[in-house]
Amino acid sequence: MRKPRKRSFQELVTENKLQLLKDREAIEKIEERIEKKHLKKAR
């Protein structure tokens, strides 16, 4: 058996980004979190 090739950090980031773009629900959760953070800072 061959060892699986280690991916570079950049490859992982790119792969993650593509998965997120396909996953509408995950994007909405992230946007909500960002909005909450900004609202806390605005006070």
Residue 36 has a pLDDT of 93
Q: How far apart are the first and last CA of the chain?
A: 57
Q: pLDDT class for 1, splitting at 50, 70, 90?
A: low
Question: Does a structural domain hold residue 4?
Answer: no
7-35, pLDDT tens digit by residue? 899 999 999 989 988 888 988 998 999 99
Question: Does a structural domain hold residue 33?
Answer: yes
Residue 14 has a pLDDT of 94
Residue 10 has a pLDDT of 92
H helices present in the chain, as ranges = 9-22, 24-42
Is this structure's pTM higher than 0.85?
A: no
Question: Does a structural domain hold residue 13?
Answer: yes
Q: How many Å apart are CA 22 and CA 8, to the nearest integer?
A: 22
Q: How many Å apart are CA 23 and CA 19, to the nearest integer?
A: 6
Is residue 27 within 8 Å of 20, Cβ to Cβ?
Answer: yes
In the chain, how many domains are there?
1
